Amino acid sequence: MRIGTKRRLRTFARIVVAGTLLGGGYGALLNVAAYGTPNLGLPIGAISGLLLSAAIGTIEIFGTRSGPGRVVEQAPFLVTLLVKGLVYGSMIAFVNIVDPGARLLGVPVATGHLQLVSVVFSFGATWAFIFMLQISQIIGGRTFRNWVLGRYHRARVEERFFLFVDIAGSTAIAERIGPVGIHGFLNSVFLLAADPVDDHRGEIYQYVGDEIVVTWLETEGRPGARPIECFLAIETALAAAVDEFRRDFGAAPRVRGAVHVGPVMVGEVGGRKRDIVFHGDVMNTTSRLEQVARSLDRRLVVSADALCRLTGVDPSAFEDLGPQDLRGRASAMRVYALSGPPRQDGA
């Protein structure tokens, strides 16, 4: 089973469990408010929560990968919010009206004001949830969570891996297909790279021109050499879409990358527009390593420090390039390059 499939199934299972628990809690509270006792509200709500979370989870995790799902996801923010809110809100309202939990347990179905309250609450809660979900997708789930929790309200030092992924030859492609074409080309590459990053528990820090900056906490990136495996998975995803790229843009994407690790200062910056940013020499060094990959025409270069911290690395897969002079650094840095052809099979 592919890494991405496992990740999506785990996410689906968490959604179903959370939905069942929330449904049970909501059902119990609703019964207490209406009758002064939870009675069968908990199991009735749990059944409704199970059905709804399974249905919505299926659409959100698997349906958004279909053609119609991608159209909705890539629509303007308000359109996505409206469509999802109507679809999910209608599903929740339908379950509240039919009340399958009550029917299964042989309990009279609620009617009147109690049912109206449930329907109104369903649409309100759904739109609020979808709004937060879409915002988190725009700024990144981890960034959104850290911002809400205030984790980086005060700057802190963290050890992090960084993977810089650059699209080789993008300047020449841009000259040939123009600004509209290169935007579509880059966006297609970025979309295909998103799943490998998620599959390997990385965090997309930012897109800079034709470059993707991915990061991991040192403890999260170390197992299974995730930064390296992430780069290989991006190569694989792009290789599988070569025919589509050649058909749509007349060019196939090729990426190169660099991996480094070190301490960075992480904190919130800005006033009206706030962001969580990384500052430190490791960022500049990774950028310089990417220039080494470009000048030596290598797929991926990795600093010696990063390579020795990663677990599960096959030493025979890397070539020792020796100490390399990096612009802006007083001393040379030992660098290794990934050898062999790009991986052709799925991860």
Residue 207 lies in a domain: yes
Write out pLDDT tens, residues 57-99.
888 888 877 778 878 877 887 888 888 888 888 888 888 788 8
Please say which residue of 139, 160, 192 terminates a domain: 139
**Distance, CA of 47 to CA of 56 (rounded, Å):** 14
- What pLDDT was estimated at residue 130? 77
Same domain, 309 and 221: yes
Residue 221 above 90 pLDDT? yes
Strand, helix or coil for residue 302 = strand
**Distance, CA of 66 to CA of 60 (rounded, Å):** 11
Please say which residue of 120, 139, 158 terminates a domain: 139
**Distance, CA of 222 to CA of 259 (rounded, Å):** 12
**How many domains, the chain?**
2
Instruction: Find which of 121-135, 222-236, 270-284 is predicted with most confidence, using mean pLDDT.
Output: 222-236
- The pair of three-digit structure tokens given for residue 111, joined into one six-digit string: 């009617």
Looking at the DSSP bridge assignments, the partners of residue 132 are none
For residues 162 and 214, the answer to whether their CB atoms sit within 8 Å is yes
Please say which residue of 139, 172, 189 terminates a domain: 139
Looking at the DSSP bridge assignments, the partners of residue 269 are 275
What is the average pLDDT across 203-212?
91
Residue 346 lies in a domain: no
Same domain, 54 and 85: yes
Same domain, 252 and 226: yes
**Distance, CA of 150 to CA of 172 (rounded, Å):** 43
CATH of the domain at 164: 3.30.70.1230
What is the average pLDDT across 202-220?
93
Q: What percent of the chain has pLDDT over 90?
A: 40
Query: pTM score, two decimals?
Result: 0.75
**Distance, CA of 246 to CA of 36 (rounded, Å):** 66
Per the structure, the complete domain to which residue 233 belongs is given by: 150-338
DSSP H or E run through 217: strand 211-217
Residue 239 above 60 pLDDT? yes
Dihedral over alpha carbons 15, 16, 18, 24 (to 10 degrees): 150
Residue 66 lies in a domain: yes
pLDDT bracket for residue 346 (50, 70, 90): very low
